[in-house]
Every structure is written in structure tokens, then in C-alpha cells.
Structure 1
Amino acid sequence: MIAIKSIEMRDKFKAYCDKVVSGETVIVTRKDNQNVVVLSEKEYNAMLKAARNADYLAMIDKSLAELENGGFIPKDLEELRDHE
């Protein structure tokens, strides 16, 4: 991880983009601690996927807990068709 000032990012933008694409994360420090993190699209997509997976797993855990606590009413296929 590299931390740089915003003026350095501006002056050496291409070089830092090359570092980011190569797997480095760059933190651009700004006034009032309003910093920016620069990461590759590949890393960004991986983070989004991990977050979606975590949300999905949490939903499954919640459903399993609800099932174990009797929160579901079992229906057969015919009963489901009657509700269409």
C-alpha cells in the first residue's frame, strides 16, 4: 500500500495507475482527512463479489434459523398451485 499526496498523484498519474493495475493500492491523502483509495477494477470487482457473497450467506443463515424455529409452513405442490 502506498500513501501519497494528491499533488503527487496528479503529477505522476500514469505511473501510479500502472502500480495499481499491478496490484498495489494507493491512498491519496487530502485535506481534512478526506482521503481517496485507488485500486484496480479487478480488485474492486472482487470486493463487490465478496460483499454480495457475504450478504447471500447471511440470508441463507437467516433462512436456516427461521426454518429451525418453525418459521416456515410446509406446502406440497398442489397447495402451491391453489395459491396461483
Structure 2
Amino acid sequence: MVQAVAYSTFRQNLKAYMRRVNEDSDTLLVTNTNPDDNVVVMGVDDYDALMETLRIYENPYLRGKILRGLEQVRSGRVEEHGLVDDGE
């Protein structure tokens, strides 16, 4: 769930809010009197994961592979395999 905080409170406690966003892997809505100035703060790891998800979703080939895999799991067409031995 997104937590909201006023801009002035966020500014006064910036370091604590940054730490909380990173530790909780949650987003923070920073509000202002003008809603057009509101921003969302999130940790860089969460941002990177979101961008990777969008990249995969926008790629029809990758999205299709994921959807086919999900359908195979739902229909019970799965097999257990051992790890690939890379020769080391």
C-alpha cells in the first residue's frame, strides 16, 4: 500500500523516508498543495525491477514465452529437471 506524506514533512525527514522506502520496498507518495506537483518516491532496486517488467511486457516474444509457460503450469504440463552442469 502506498503511504502518503506531505512535502514539508518529507523534506524535514528526508533521510528517514528514503531509508524506509528502501527497507520496506514500498513506494511513497509525496503530496503538495498543488496535486500536479505530487511525486512518487521508490527505491532504485524497485524502479529497476519495474522497468525490467515493462521491457519484458512490451516485447511480444518474451511476453508470449511467459504466457505459454504459465499456461503449461496451469494445465499441469510441467517436468522437473536437474540443474545444468557447466563443467566446473
Alignment: residue pair count: 61
RMSD: 1.9
Normalised to the residue count of structure 1, the TM-score between the two structures is 0.64
Pair 8,53 (structure 1): closer, same or farther in 2 beyond 3 Å: same
Query: 3-state SS of the aligned residue for 1:24?
Result: coil
Structure 1 stretches of 4+ with a deviation exceeding 6 A read 58-61
- Structure showing greater radius of gyration is 1
Q: Which runs of 5+ in 1 are unaligned?
A: 62-84
- Normalising to structure 2: TM-score of the pair? 0.62
Change in CA separation of 1:3 and 1:57 when aligned onto 2, cut-off 3 Å: same
**In structure 2, the residue corresponding to 1:31 is in which secondary structure?**
coil
**Identity percentage of aligned residues:** 26
Larger helix proportion of the pair: 1
